[in-house]
Chains A and B, each alone.
Chain A
Amino acid sequence: MTSEQLTGAAGVAPGTPAIQLVDVAKSYGSFKALQGVSMTVERGSRMVICGPSGSGKSTLIRCINRLEIHDAGAITVNGAELTDQIVRIDRIRRDVGMVFQHFNLFPHLTVLQNCTLAQRWVRRRSHREASDIAMALLERVRIPEKASSYPAELSGGQQQRVAIARALCMNPSIMLFDEPTSALDPEMVKEVLDTMVRLAEDGMTMICVTHEMGFARQVASQVAFMEGGKVIESNTPERLFSTPAHERTKRFLSNLLH
């Protein structure tokens, strides 16, 4: 079995959820960031997580590729449970793309180099192959003309689209978005959201932490509302937005809309 099959979604039994969280908990000292979160994200579905700041959304999404290590409960990604025993967490990470609030592009590398670096060192692709894939994905996020620019020469929206392309270059089966539009000027939010919508339409499994409720309504299969480290309620966007079950959800949503 090649490493590609080991890590890729292709090697996973059909019907296995892309991501499954069971009673996940995480504390920083006495602060309980996550208190027993359970959720299932099916392959090809899109989960949007919203909630006030400090509610544990980012911690939750960061636990999925083990940028944070959960204290209790179980997280399963593509059928493989994240435990201390997994020495090669990189194998899961290269199959799970992540887009950050502050882009985290490498400032000393060009846009193209940003996109080819991990392909060459992690996927062991040739320079030629990596560049071809990178260019194709830069086309897809509609920014191929900036391939030889440095991140500092790009607007925030352009940088975030490059970050999306960079993650896609690794052929992830799951994409995580951690408030991808929160650091952007309002006029740049749309170009990034449009890119994400197209990705969703192509059937990518996605988890997005975002306050963009229009986006949630448009693409989400499921919206989860979090507060105090717990998922208060989770439903389809239609149901959650029209008839939220909890008072707290109602208040949060009405504050967002006004």
Chain B
Amino acid sequence: MFDYHLFLSAVFGWPLAKGALLTMVLSISVMTCSLIVATLFGSVAGSQRKALRWSVGGYVWLFRGAPALLILLFVWNGLPQLSPVFRQAWFTPFFAAFLALTLIEVAYLTEILRGAFAAVGKGQREGAAALGLHRWQIFILITMPQALRVAVPALINEFISLLKATSLATVISLKELMTLTQFAIATSFRFLEWYGAALVYYMLMVSVLTVFQTRIERLLSKGHR
């Protein structure tokens, strides 16, 4: 039977809260770094320089094609075999998960942003250029805000996927939400209550993101009808 008391203590207890916090910190760090790199990659994807375009294309091809689990294991187990640098203390499960997920996320975000940048008409850049704005000014002041408006739903979608994909890091024993849930189950054998509690945390985090999405969409849709 379902033990409500255990369920509530699982929801309000420390282990899952800590796991959820780690999941959140990991997701936000990965998303932030990926956004910065992907902005660069996405803007280069439309570049005149063939070598640059091809490099970005190759990167996206590789990291969109490889399963997340494989990349996680590759980074965690494979890199230390490659170089002693990765055998030192700083190479923690958290850092490995961060690195692996960022590599993947950059690929996906690059594709989203490339499309969004392309959606901002050439006329916008020309209008700005005719006023004497530099290329980087045009990018930041004109292209970015309009591209983001187009990209926000897809970006938040990616963020939600990422939040859940962090649970894969359980295979490299990162103490995120799912790992701690399984730990609790291993000692209690109470599946329903602990899975239920973990679900509450995931739903809560995703709901916050959804609210955030509505807010930011409204902010960026100024001037559009």
Contact = CB atoms under 8 A, between A and B. Distances in A.
9 contacts: A67-B130, A93-B130, A100-B126, A105-B127, A108-B220, A117-B131, A117-B133, A150-B224, A170-B131
Contacts of A102: 123
B127 A122 contact: no
Given A93-B132, A167-B131, A109 B123 contact: no
Contacts, number: 75
A102 to B, nearest CB: 6
A166 B131 CA distance: 9
A54 interface: no
Contacts of A151: 223
Majority-rule SS of B interface residues: helix
Contacts of B132: 90-91, 93-95, 118, 122, 170
A20 B30 CA distance: 54
A110 B146 CA distance: 14
Given A121-B133, A170-B132, A152 B225 contact: yes
A105 B146 CA distance: 12
Interface residues of A, number: 32
Contact of B223 (A100, A103, A110): A110
B127 A108 contact: no
Interface stretch (B19-27, B84-92, B134-142, B176-184): B134-142
A225 to B, nearest CB: 25
A90 B130 CA distance: 8
A11 interface: no
Contacts of A90: 132-134
Contacts of B124: 104, 106
A166 B132 CA distance: 12
Given A67-B126, A108-B224, A170-B132, 16 more contacts: A95-B132, A100-B123, A100-B127, A100-B130, A105-B127, A106-B127, A106-B142, A108-B145, A108-B223, A110-B223, A117-B133, A118-B131, A122-B131, A153-B225, A166-B131, A170-B131
A97 interface: yes
Give the size range of B's interface with the partner: 20 to 34
A52 interface: no
A98 interface: yes
Given A106-B127, A152-B225, A118 B146 contact: no
Given A122-B133, A167-B131, A104 B123 contact: yes
Contacts of B128: 106, 118
Contacts of B224: 107-108, 150, 152
B36 interface: no
Contacts of B146: 106-108
Contacts of A181: none
Contacts of B223: 107-110, 150-152
A65 interface: yes
A91 B134 CA distance: 10
A164 to B, nearest CB: 12
Contacts of A150: 222-224
A113 to B, nearest CB: 9
B141 A121 contact: yes
Given A121-B141, A150-B223, A152-B223, A108 B133 contact: no
Given A104-B124, A108-B149, A121 B137 contact: yes
B129 interface: yes
A106 B126 CA distance: 11
Contacts of B141: 117, 121
Contacts of A153: 225
Interface in B148-181: 149
Interface in B87-125: 123-124
Nearest to B220: A108
A48 B149 CA distance: 39
A86 to B, nearest CB: 13
A97 to B, nearest CB: 7
A108 B225 CA distance: 11
Contacts of B127: 100, 103-106, 163
